[in-house]
Amino acid sequence: MSTATVASSRIVDAYRRRTPTSAKLAAAAKNVFPDGVTHDARYLEPYGIYVQRAAGSRKWDVDDNEYVDYAGGHGALLLGHNPPEVVEAVQKQLHLGTHYGANHELEIRWGELVKKLVPCAERVRFTSSGTEATLLGMRLARAFTGKPKMLRFVGHFHGWHDHAAFGVGSHFDGTPTPGVVDGIAQNVVLVPAGDVEATRRALDEHKDIGMAIIEPTGSSWGHVPVAPSFLHELRRLTAERGVLLFFDEVITGFRCSPGGAQQALGIKPDLTTLAKILAGGLPGGALVGRQDIMDALNTTASAQAGREKIAHHGTYNANPLSAAAGVAMLELVANTDACERANRYAEQLRTEMNRVLADDGVNWVVYGTYSSFHIFTNPKGLSVTPEEIVAGKLDYHAIKGGVRKEVVMRLRQAMMLHGVEIFVWPGGPTSAVHTLADLEQTCEAFAGALKMLKEDGLIG
Ligand SMILES: Cc1ncc(COP(=O)(O)O)c(C=O)c1O
């Protein structure tokens, strides 16, 4: 985007006036980090806010502006910022040591909670992130099935490693993104999610596909939803052919329900990845699944089966601080109605935001499932309801194609001018601690933001 466009926006002018300290920090960050950021999703023009503290459903930037927070720790904060039980557990552990370089009791409690909650989790292996967990799962699937290829779905995100880098936001033809070698891309078959025929065809044509991996509520936390009926069909098609079904529940795990999307949908995959809520807001991930597959990591079982054991390391796997936070968090997930509350809030929010759109005559759509909301800015003026989007009426290209980055960035900034931070989709995860006051403020902010976008000539 040209500097001229940024300079002529009233939203940007007001944003700059409100966030001078963030502007100074952003200038310093540009001399340290590529793009001035440490995660691509935090990139915003002319700059993003810098946050100094957070509590519950709120956070405050370095200029002391307060925001209702829908970044939600990238989805990790089902219970909002700093739930007292998690803080207490981490504080206690901090004094007992942060890394023993040895086994410890908390990791067992953590793993037992995962087993208790997640239906397919017969065995658990902790990692430090969701990316590491999907990487490990893909390797295990290849070793277990002896088949090199995997089926992936267009737009579905499984972290940033080589096997998952292309076909997410670009390279939908399956060609590798820069830095990924051809051999990896050639072993990935990409099909549109929701397309039963294309899926069946791919599985039948490529007999060397050993595993199919999917985000069970749709790509990017249901931004492009997949209908549950497709997942049931996928389970059937894979089971019939001896292909492993791999749910990436890094974001949906412990969120859609205490047992994740697989419990909510009543579908048992063979492998699952978890992260985010798993570690209570600290770094952590896990690969879980059928014991016979996970046994590829087991020395004795591998020797008995005459197989080479798969090695797995990771300095911070199940580190005591993440384990302490994870245990506290998963106990709350197991013993309270946290998932239900977050889901209920999101449903109310989606309804009320759609009411704002109707009142303002703007043909956008707010949709989502479980504790998510997504704002479809409808660049082609389609006539579509939230229910139709959730049912899978629009594919990846219909939902993401033609969306103007400038509209999305100005919407996010205009919301911030009204004290609400939404996530990059645009949309966000909701938490169990968002309140009715947050909901009212969000809807007022949305109405105010739409007015500003109209005044800036960004929507009609
Ligand atoms: C579905 C999904 N898979 C994998 C990842 C990668 O997890 P991490 O960021 O912990 O590496 C994410 C992160 O947003 C995700 O949403």
Residue 6 pLDDT > 70: no
Q: pLDDT value at position 4? A: 40
Q: 152, 157, 161: which to mutate for ligand 1, most atoms within 8 A of CB? A: 157
Specify if 460 maps to a domain.
Answer: no
Tell me if 252 sits within 8 A of 106, measured CB to CB: no
Could you tell me if 393 and 431 lie in one domain?
Answer: yes
Instruction: State if residue 248 touches ligand 1 by the CB under 6 angstroms criterion.
Output: yes
Q: How far is the CA of 164 from the centre of ligand 1 (A)?
A: 11
Residues in a beta bridge with 218: 225
Over residues 95-103, the mean pLDDT reads: 97
Residue nearest to atom 8 of ligand 1 (CA): 130
pTM score above 0.85: yes
Could you tell me if 88 and 99 lie in one domain?
Answer: yes
Name the residue type at position 376: F
Could you tell me if 69 and 92 lie in one domain?
Answer: no
User: Tens of pLDDT along 139-151?
Assistant: 999 999 999 999 9
Residue nearest to atom 9 of ligand 1 (CA): 130
Q: pLDDT value at position 48? A: 96
Specify if 42 maps to a domain.
Answer: yes
Q: pLDDT value at position 65? A: 98
User: Tens of pLDDT along 181-233?
Assistant: 999 999 999 999 999 999 999 999 999 999 999 999 999 999 999 999 999 99
Could you tell me if 325 and 377 lie in one domain?
Answer: no
Q: pLDDT value at position 402? A: 86
How many Cα atoms occupy the beta-carbon half-sphere of 203 within 13 Å?
24
Q: pLDDT value at position 460? A: 81
Residue nearest to atom 12 of ligand 1 (CA): 159
Tell me if 167 sits within 8 A of 152, measured CB to CB: yes
Q: How far is the CA of 158 from the centre of ligand 1 (A)?
A: 6
Which three-class secondary structure string do you get for 162-190? HHHCCCCCCCCCCCCCCCCCHHHHHCEEE
Tell me if 44 sits within 8 A of 86, measured CB to CB: no
- The residue behind tokens 């658990």 is 124
Q: How far is the CA of 179 from the centre of ligand 1 (A)?
A: 20
Residue 270 pLDDT > 90: yes
Taking the C-alpha atoms of residue 140 and residue 290, their distance in angstroms, rounded to an integer, is: 11
User: Tens of pLDDT along 416-435?
Assistant: 999 999 999 899 999 999 99
Q: How far is the CA of 161 from the centre of ligand 1 (A)?
A: 11
Tell me if 272 sits within 8 A of 246, measured CB to CB: yes
Instruction: State if residue 159 touches ligand 1 by the CB under 6 angstroms criterion.
Output: yes
Q: pLDDT value at position 401? A: 87
Tell me if 30 sits within 8 A of 389, measured CB to CB: no
| Domain residue limits at 370 | 3-81+338-455
- 68 or 6, which is more confident: 68
Q: pLDDT value at position 3? A: 42
Taking the C-alpha atoms of residue 105 and residue 8, their distance in angstroms, rounded to an integer, is: 58
Taking the C-alpha atoms of residue 220 and residue 328, their distance in angstroms, rounded to an integer, is: 27
Could you tell me if 178 and 303 lie in one domain?
Answer: yes
Over residues 165-193, the mean pLDDT reads: 96
Tell me if 457 sits within 8 A of 370, measured CB to CB: no
Could you tell me if 285 and 421 lie in one domain?
Answer: no
Task: List the CATH number of the domain containing 311.
Answer: 3.40.640.10
What is the C-alpha radius of gyration for the chain, rounded to an integer number of angstroms?
Answer: 22
Taking the C-alpha atoms of residue 298 and residue 122, their distance in angstroms, rounded to an integer, is: 13
Specify if 130 maps to a domain.
Answer: yes
Could you tell me if 301 and 229 lie in one domain?
Answer: yes
Instruction: State if residue 74 touches ligand 1 by the CB under 6 angstroms criterion.
Output: yes
Q: pLDDT value at position 64? A: 98
Specify if 294 maps to a domain.
Answer: yes
Instruction: State if residue 250 touches ligand 1 by the CB under 6 angstroms criterion.
Output: yes
- The residue behind tokens 């936070």 is 325
Could you tell me if 129 and 261 lie in one domain?
Answer: yes
Residue 1 pLDDT > 60: no
Q: Name the DSSP class of 64.
A: -
Q: Indicate the number of domains in the chain.
A: 2
Over residues 133-161, the mean pLDDT reads: 98
Q: pLDDT value at position 446? A: 98
Of 301, 335, 369, which residue sits at a domain end? 335
Could you tell me if 73 and 44 lie in one domain?
Answer: yes
Q: Name the DSSP class of 258.
A: T
Of 308, 335, 362, which residue sits at a domain end? 335
Could you tell me if 166 and 246 lie in one domain?
Answer: yes
